[in-house]
Amino acid sequence: MRALLPTIRETGGSWVGWTGQPGGVDEDIDLDGIALHSLALSDEELHRYYEGMSNDTLWPLYHDAIRESAYHGDDWDAYRLVNQRFAERVAEIAPEGAAVWIHDYHLQLVPTALRELRDDVRIGFFNHIPFPPLELFRRLPWRAEIVEGLLGADVIGFQRASDATNMIAAATDLLEGVEPDEPVVTDHLVGVGYRGHRSLVGAFPISIDVAEIEEPAGGRAARRQAIDIRARLGSPEVILLGVDRLDYTKGIGPRLRAFGQLLDDGRLDPERHVLVQVATPTREGVEHYQDERREIEQIVGEINGRHARLGFPVIHYLYRTLPLEELIPLYRAGDVMLVTPYRDGMNLVAKEYVAANADGDGVLVLSEFTGAADELREALLVNPHDPVALQDAIAQAVEMPRQERGERMRAMRATIAGSTVTDWARSFLAVLDTEGPAA
């Protein structure tokens, strides 16, 4: 959420958030001219609220339940308590009539908790991840409390219209007296009334700071670094690239297997085609993530075992977070970008790759199950659950004629150039400005 800092600075706003480290005390500090009000979480709270309820219950459930969620009452209690503390911290510091913008699934109870403490503020909520269909959401033992928590907001934003539709369906089904305006399904905003308060619910697809990527990527230094990367990889004809948090939602396994199968079948050639996979460490305390890491590393080992030559692996696997200065030349060097999540709210990597493609020559293979697929229609859209379709999409990307590559990339670059993350924040805050008690 670094990308939001300019908007906060511009509006003279404050930031309330967790310190990022266990323990400590609540503090008020200055972060590059922004007032940062930190909230301390104990080891136990981190374990139950963050690793447990947020990342072992809600995260898998909200991503099509592709891993089993854990449902523990103690984790839910911690979630409620921490959400209440966030609401109290905001209530303490928010000026009269302020606009408060709450982010993501960790804080779904804050809107209503805050409304109960401060009825003068305007409350916005944005979910960065999908909102699941009712049939999945109903599994959650605390499903009614969650939608009730959200409905305290004046504006509730999602990445895609279908997420908004799912949330409205859940609220209508699970709570007595929820009344969506008719028609329920529109392409932008729907009013939902509950207990005398009306929320506007709709899609606000997030974007990236295009200039932050595009400018350095278009420069000579990045170009030189991209040439150097290719040489260090053994000067392959085609560099395939994956950049993801090492998360089981990202579909890293099926992508690597498809690459391996293409090598096995002789449709790709280890001397001409190499894959670089950057896998950023994430949520290492959660068991599903430890399992996922073991699985990915085993697949990498198996494929390299079969196809590497001395000094030349076919998969270059980096389990670390690269500085942005290294990531940008890698985007530039990648001829084929593989973004194959089973489910993803948006996926910024897809948009960053397009922004970095200064010469307009790269190919994006993109899962249909990402929010980005709603916008980047000229990518090679693929179903990551279908191994044959994945193999065919990768082969098609590798073989795509230059002219077609250029046409598709130009169209995608025009799409992302039209809206940056600042426009996104402004459009959300503009709706919030016209809603709520202070309007």
Nearer to ligand GDG among residue 89 and residue 250 (C-beta): 250
Q: Which amino acid is at 235?
A: S
**Residue 36 structure tokens:** 């940062």
- Number of residues lying near ligand GDG (CB under 6 A): 19
Nearest distance, CB of residue 358 and ligand GDG, angstroms: 17
Nearest distance, CB of residue 279 and ligand GDG, angstroms: 8
> Which residues, including other chains, have CB under 8 Å from residue 385's CB and lie 6 or more apart?
254, 342
Map residue 153 onto helix, strand or coil: coil
Q: Which of 174, 275, 348, 358 binds ligand GDG (CB under 6 A)?
A: 348
Active site residue 344: yes
4 binds ligand GDG, rule: CB under 6 A: no
Angle (CA) 193 156 116, round 5°: 65
170 binds ligand GDG, rule: CB under 6 A: no
Rounded CA separation 313/336 (Å): 18
Nearer to ligand GDG among residue 49 and residue 158 (C-beta): 158
Q: Which of 41, 53, 201, 278 binds ligand GDG (CB under 6 A)?
A: 278
Closest to 344 measured CA to CA, from 374, 379, 386: 374
Active site residue 63: no
Closest to 299 measured CA to CA, from 261, 253, 342: 253
Asked whether the beta carbons of 174 and 109 are under 8 A apart, the reply is no
Side by side, the strands of the sheet bearing 34-41 are: 14-22, 34-41, 27-31
Nearest distance, CB of residue 386 and ligand GDG, angstroms: 21
Q: Which of 56, 145, 209, 344 binds ligand GDG (CB under 6 A)?
A: 344
Nearer to ligand GDG among residue 2 and residue 402 (C-beta): 2
Nearest distance, CB of residue 75 and ligand GDG, angstroms: 20
| Per annotation, catalytic residue among 37, 103, 128, 197 | 128
Site string for ligand GDG, 120-149 (x = CB under 6 A): --------xx--------------------
Q: Which of 14, 57, 199, 347 binds ligand GDG (CB under 6 A)?
A: 347
**Is the previous residue joined to 183 through a cis bond, with omega within 30 degrees of 0?**
yes
Nearer to ligand GDG among residue 127 and residue 391 (C-beta): 127
How far, rounded to the nearest angstrom, does the alpha carbon of residue 100 sit from its chain's CA centroid? 21
Rounded CA separation 338/364 (Å): 6
Asked whether the beta carbons of 198 and 115 are under 8 A apart, the reply is no
Site string for ligand GDG, 201-240 (x = CB under 6 A): -----x----------------------------------
Per CB under 6 A, the segment of 150-158, 189-197, 232-240, 340-348 that binds ligand GDG is 340-348
Rounded CA separation 349/330 (Å): 12
Dmax over CA atoms of the chain, in Å, equals: 70
Rounded CA separation 317/300 (Å): 7
Residues 309-338 that bind ligand GDG (CB under 6 A): 321-324, 327
246 binds ligand GDG, rule: CB under 6 A: no
Nearer to ligand GDG among residue 3 and residue 389 (C-beta): 3
| Per annotation, catalytic residue among 56, 209, 335, 344 | 344
Per CB under 6 A, the segment of 218-226, 299-307, 343-351, 404-412 that binds ligand GDG is 343-351
Q: Which amino acid is at 194?
A: Y
Residue with tokens 């000067």: 235
The partner residues of 123 in beta bridges, in order of sequence, read: 100
Active site residues: 128, 344
Q: Which residues bind ligand GDG (CB under 6 A)?
A: 128-129, 206, 243, 245, 278, 280, 321-324, 327, 344-349, 352
